[in-house]
Structure 1
Amino acid sequence: MRSIITRLGWSIIVGMLPLLATAQTGGRTTYCNPMDIDYKYNYEQLNDSISYRAGADPVIVNHKGSYFLFVTISGGYWHSNNLVDWSYIVPDKWPMEDMCAPAAMSVKDTLYLFQSTFEQRPIFYSLEPEKGKLKFYNRWLPALPKEVGPWDPALFYDEELNKWYMYWGSSNVFPMYGSELDKHKRLSYKGAYKPMLYLQPEEHGWERFGRDHTSSIKPFMEGAWMTKHNGKYYLQYGAPGTEYNVYANGTYVGDSPLGPFTYAPYNPVSYKPGGFVTGAGHGNTFQDVYGNYWNTGTPWIAVNWNFERRIAMFPAGFDADGQMFSNTRFGDLPHRLPTKKWTSKDELFTGWMLLSYKKTATASSVRDTFRVSNLTDENPRTFWVARQNKAGEWAAIDLQKEQEVRAVQINYTDYKSDIFDNDTARVYTQFKLFASRDGKQWDLITDLTREKKRDRPNAYVEFEKPVKARYIKYEHVYVASPNLAVSDIRVFGNGQGKPPVAPSKITAKRDTDVRNAFVSWTPVPGAVGYNILWGIGKDKLYQTYQVFADQPASKEIRALSRGVTYYFAVEAFSENGVSARSEVVMVK
């Protein structure tokens, strides 16, 4: 093995254009969370000399058949025609302080935009948002009491009633509020605002703060969004806080826009506490051009700052009983872009499995204790740092046997970053990818120096055709930050063997604190990991907690609500695919 690795830097065979033409990425048909956009450097911690790229609190709206993405403190917004290729737009008008947790809404030919604030601020509108053309819809929305906001606002137009509303709130003291808006007074508040909901962590386990809901800190409620479906009003909210893996979206349901609302017993509706991308809270729900629902959220990174985050989107919908759900099962593995209305919540999953977990990695150099093994641990908070940020540094992963590679994701880390602007002339990423079957002959399969310079902190590369390879190598070209730091190189594809068998001997037992349950199963030979699935019915197992097979074959689930009966099952997965589900067990 050592001799093979020694030859890595000497035996690269380049100039193989025929192979490159078949393996190089073309028009992408899949996506992978976190979203592959040019996240902007954040200036909130400028005086603390902390620099990092981040995105949070997303709102994606379908406006006249294309999509607009608005994100906290980004100096602009993004536009896409397909939900995967996003172009950044700097508008001609933008608040001096930038926008936090913005609200956006599309009504007929007009896009409306409003920022979080505790002061008087304007509502913008645009007839040409793709050109960055913003105008003032009103100059100043009247101020509310300082403690009220509106912070984390959401705008909602009820077409059937021809009425306008706003919902808002971000606090662990105050409730979420709602108010009707007066269209005839430029969307000023119409009548008094009133409370919509409070968190109840003593009843709802998933609303508890901390990693896996283990902290006694009073949780935060934020991230309002309203969706109307089949005459019902789903008031979405984020909880219990963005700083941990359990950030999620829940919903209350009502018969009118301002309630009263009833807690949905199947909450949370979007929840992803395990895997590489963790956290799915504070986002929005929208429909694409085919009518499919999506739910967005804010995964947690927290390397340079506790609020360093990314953006994710998950297939979502409503079942025949009106239950709202978001499908986070394999939510950080490649999914297909829809080309029609899907009928099964899992049909967008490509079946391309994670091939790189805990595989041996080697590198041209390593700085201090930032081990190269961090590249395959599926943890965005650990990372490899090369001795120098220079072209030619490399890292390689041994998949242990020849696999069918379909895609690779490169996740950069802003280690000791000193960038406080977003100058596109110097802020971009470039790299090359090579594949090898024997560790001696290397074929160039991706060359990002061939495309337009752009920043891709979470670059996702999909191959037009499968690449047969045992080794995948990243070769560095350029990154603007002072250090070359990468948290994970994630390789996706399919092994050549059979999927694992279904787990057996499933047990689920409610704790004396009924907000918690203990789930266990018999380990499956050859499994890379497991998905613990649960919900309020045998056919409603919409929740997922992913764990890896090198962890115990048991898990405490602390996300349950009092007075609700649950059903649990477990499935195993490996590089070769996914098992059948285990038997389903009930806990009262």
Structure 2
Amino acid sequence: MKKSLLSFLLSCLSIALLAQNKQATYCNPIDIGYRYNFEQMNEGISYRSGADPVIVTHKNEYYLFVTISGGWWHSKDLVNWNYVVPDKWPMEDMCAPAAVSVRDTLYLFQSTFQQRPIFYSTEPEKGKLKFLNRWLPQLPKDIGPWDPALFHDPDTDKWYMYWGSSNVYPIFGAELDKSRNLTYKDKTDYKPLIFLDQYQHGWERFGPDHADMIKPFIEGAWMTKHNGKYYLQYAGPGTEYNVYGNGTYVGDNPLGPFTYAPYNPISYRPGGYMTGAGHGNTFQDVYGNYWNTGTPWLAVNWPMERRISMFPAGFDKEGQMYSNTRFGDWPHYLPTGKWDNRDALFTGWMLLSYKKPVTVSSQQDTIHVAKNLTDEGRQSFWVAKQNKAGEWASIDLGRESEVKALQVNYIDYKNNVFDSDSSVYTLFKIWGSKDGKKWELLRDLTKEPKRDRPCAYIELEKPYKGRFIKYEHVYVKAQNLAIGEIRVFGNGLGQAPVTPQKLVAKRQKDERNVDISWEKVPNVVGYNIRWGIEKDKLYQTYQVYADQPTSLQIRALNLGQKYYYAIEAFNENGVSALSGVVGE
């Protein structure tokens, strides 16, 4: 009896220790070792980047494929990603890859305008990769397939490919012949499926906040089948802006005809720190929950410099597809089962560091200064005088708060690294203090396995109640120690803000645009303007900060569609109740 009791207690202790050390949350952009670029090596431009992500669930585990990464990533929980190098890379590295899991096999294909094979693997966790076919027949000049997507219809056992990346050509589709190892049935047997229409769909206009009249780009095809309907997804209007998003057309057959979804875009994040949600894919996790991935825009060193985000997604009871980007780059819980509420994964951990005072050990010039570390600015950053151990940055949160997580986002400022070898890793320590004098060690990465963490997300084992947070530098392989943002999350000890009043939404003569205004609320960090095509379907969010005007022009609407709007305020302590819903 005593032995059994002791075994039981030891078992409970082991479970408790495992639970204590297991990370329960994630934060966008996702924390992986983004590979160093080599495309601009000859121009002397160095940066880590992730683009065109595809996450596939295969044998109850996850695989992440990213443009020109020399391999892929493997995870069992969507947060701990191990980099896998293929045992033999059969072709040149892959750009905007297509991947799909069917039964026990994972299939992989690259973007190309030439003849290229489809690969397969039954052991992708080991980097095993084989040829399924040698060459797909070459399509006519400029047709592709670039930005491809592979789709297997489980109900018919038929295979399809979708592709397109152009401001001239549409998204194309073709059935593949499984009897000939998934080559085209006929190299001329493909069809145009969908085009962009910037004159009808406001969100498909190019430029920052859709303000440029350059002809927009359609790209990033993906197909999802749900309840007998085919959702052909696409990205637009261009990678290098805050409004990069995903949309969908819906049909009864895999090659159409397709109808534009009036609730588009389905994934959209024009405001906040990491803006942009386009060109990813939709996948289901091991619990059956849907997710949508995308590439938020960084563009410090190069216009196409990007990171990767993933957002909870799904379909409502009427079949409307959505992706939840509300507080999209703040901590969210990892899934542990099937969720019913689209906001179920949001932790409620608030941003404690916005515009808070920062003291640093040194700074290299008068531009890349301490205050940049807390401004939530995508292209502003701090640069220390030297990249050496012992440099530090201390944030004064202004009052005692419960700190629960941090995110440290590095910048490759004037860097000279072009390859992600074993010398590329990230080490630092995080300290906390109640008075700015006596410090307590909260996390020490020097005690953990070395890995590169350009978007390092640190979830504390237990909440820390204090006023000051300090980053102490140890190592990063770079020319300079440059950090874009040190973001502190948790909860203040005060009251959440009151609900904003006097919300007004006025549709412009150009119905693709609407003017929003509201009454200022005291003691807030910012606001979420939420909108949608029905009062109970406010699936879109535009986040603005309190030091911005209490008015906003949203230029993402569709002609002929009625919209509804509401607003909420947030501060360090929480989120207000949502305002009443107003029409136009």
Instruction: Please confirm whether the aligned pair reaches a TM-score higher than 0.5, indicating the same fold.
Output: yes
Which residue of the partner structure matches residue 354 of structure 1? 351
Among candidates 76, 85, 101, match of residue 90 of structure 1: 85
Does residue 65 of structure 2 align to residue 67 of structure 1? no
Aligned residue number for residue 331 of structure 2: 334
Shift in Å, 1:93: 2.6
**Are 2:183 and 1:188 equivalent residues in the alignment?**
yes
Separation (CA, whole Å) in 2 of partners of 1:342 and 1:322: 17
Choose 182-191 or 95-104, whichever is displaced more.
95-104
1:135 aligns with 2:133: no
Q: Secondary structure at the match of 1:449?
A: helix
- Alignment equivalent of 1:58, drawn from 38, 53, 60: 53
For 1:319, the equivalent position in structure 2 comes to: 316
Matches within 5 A, 1:545-560: 545-560=542-557
Matched, 1:508 2:505: yes
The structural deviation recorded for 1:25 is 8.0
> Which amino acid in 2 is paired with 1:216?
M
Q: Given the alignment of the two structures, is residue 210 of structure 1 paired with residue 207 of structure 2, yes or no? A: yes
The aligned residue for residue 479 of structure 1 is 476
**Matched residues in 2 for 1:464 and 1:552: separation?**
38
Partner of 1:393: 391
Which residue matches 1:540?
537
Shift in Å, 1:112: 0.1
How far apart, CA to CA, are the structure 2 residues paired with 1:417 and 1:541? Answer: 43
1:224-303 matches, cutoff 5 A: 224-303=221-300
> For 1:436-447, what aligned pairs fall within 5 Å after superposition?
436-447=433-444
Q: For 2:117, what is the secondary structure of its paired residue?
A: strand
Q: Deviations over 1:320-356 (max 9, x none)?
A: 0000000000010000001110010001000000000
C-alpha displacement at 1:96, in angstroms? 4.4
Read off the aligned partner of 1:65 and give its amino acid letter.
N
- Opposite residue 451 of structure 1, the aligned amino acid is E
SS of aligned partner of 1:522 = coil
Distance in structure 1 (CA, Å) of the matches to 2:298 and 2:203:
20
| Matched AA of 2:243 | V
Would you say 1:117 and 2:122 are equivalent positions? no
Q: Is the Cα–Cα contact under 8 Å of residues 270 and 325 in structure 1 kept in the other structure? A: yes
1:377 match: 375
| CA distance in structure 1 between the aligned counterparts of 2:426 and 2:545, rounded to whole angstroms | 31
Q: Quick check: 1:219 aligned with 2:223?
A: no
Q: Could you tell me how far 1:46 is from its partner in structure 2?
A: 1.2
CA distance in 2, matches of 1:43, 1:97: 13
Unaligned runs of at least 5 residues, structure 2: 1-15
SS at match of 1:121: coil
> 2:244 is matched by which residue type in structure 1?
Y
Choose between structure 1 and 2 for higher RCO, CA contacts under 8 A separated by at least 6 residues.
Answer: 1
Q: Aligned pair count?
A: 565
Q: Which runs of 4+ in 1 moved over 4 A?
A: none
Q: Which of these residues, 72, 85, 105, is aligned with residue 77 of structure 1? A: 72
Distance 2:211 2:141 in 1: 32
Q: Deviations over 1:71-92 (max 9, x none)?
A: 0010000000000000000012
Shift of residue 380 of structure 1?
A: 2.3
Selected match of 1:160 from 144, 155, 158:
155
Tell me the secondary structure at the aligned position of residue 206 of structure 1. Answer: helix
User: How big is the shift at 1:178?
Assistant: 0.1
Q: Distance in 1 between matches of 2:92 and 2:324?
A: 35
Per-residue CA deviations over 1:273-324 (Å, capped at 9, x if unaligned) read 1111100000000000000000000000000000000000000000000000
Verify the 8 A CA contact 1:211 1:244 in the aligned structure 2: yes
Q: Distance in 1 between matches of 2:88 and 2:135?
A: 15
Q: Secondary structure at the match of 2:21?
A: coil
TM-score under structure 1 normalisation?
0.95
**RMSD over equivalenced CA pairs, Å:** 1.1
Partner of 2:526: 529
Task: Determine the structure 1 residue equivalent to 2:12.
Answer: none
- Once the two structures are TM-superposed, the CA of residue 257 in structure 1 deviates from its matched residue by 0.1
Deviations 1:434-476 (A, max 9, x none): 0000001001111000011100000000012100110000000
Instruction: Report whether the alignment pairs 1:578 with 2:575.
Output: yes
Cα distance in 1 for partners of 2:68, 2:513 equals: 37
- Paired with 1:406 and 1:31, the residues of 2 have a C-alpha distance of 12
Q: d(CA) in 2 for partners of 1:255 and 1:189?
A: 22
Secondary structure of 2:42's partner?
helix
Alpha-carbon distance in structure 1 between the residues aligned to 2:285 and 2:100: 14
Matched residue SS, 2:118: strand
Query: How far 1:422 moved relative to its partner?
Result: 1.2
Partner of 2:194: 197
Does the CA contact (< 8 Å) of 1:433 and 1:447 recur in 2?
yes
Q: 1:190-248, CA deviations, whole angstroms, 9 ceiling, x for partnerless residues?
A: 24000010000010000001110001111100000000000000000000000000000
Question: What residue number does 2:432 align with?
Answer: 435
Helix, strand or coil: the match of 1:41? coil
1:418 correspondence with 2:416: yes
Offset of residue 26 of structure 1: 2.4
Q: Which residue of structure 2 lines up, in the alignment, with residue 404 of structure 1? A: 402
SS at match of 1:53: coil
**Structure 1 gaps, min length 5:** 1-20
Contact 1:41 1:51 in 2 (8 A): yes
Distance 1:431 1:142 in 2: 51
Work out the CA distance in 2 between the residues paired with 1:507 and 1:386. Answer: 45
Cα distance between partner residues in 2 of 1:162 and 1:458: 40
Q: CA deviation at 1:145?
A: 1.3
Q: Report deviation, 1:94.
A: 2.0
1:169-195, Cα deviation, whole Å (9 max, x unpaired): 000000100000000011011240000
Aligned mates of 2:306, 2:139 — CA distance in 1: 29
Query: What SS is found at the alignment partner of 2:372?
Result: helix
Identity of aligned residues (%): 70
Distance in 2, Cα, partners of 1:44 & 1:150: 21
Structure 1 counterpart of 2:134, one-letter code:
R
Query: Are the equivalent residues in 2 in contact too, given 1:26–1:463 (CA < 8 A)?
Result: no
* Displacement after TM superposition at 1:146 (Å): 2.1
Report the equivalent of 1:47.
42
Is the 1:25–1:446 Cα contact (8 Å) retained in structure 2? no
What's the TM-score, normalizing by structure 2? 0.96
- Specify the code of the residue in structure 1 equivalent to 2:375: D
Q: Do 1:25 and 1:462's aligned partners in 2 also have CA atoms closer than 8 Å?
A: no
C-alpha separation between the residues in 1 aligned to 2:177 and 2:87? 27
CA distance in 2, matches of 1:573, 1:413: 28
Distance in structure 1 (CA, Å) of the matches to 2:226 and 2:450 = 42
User: SS of 2:134's equivalent?
Assistant: strand
Superposition deviation, residue 95 in structure 1: 4.8
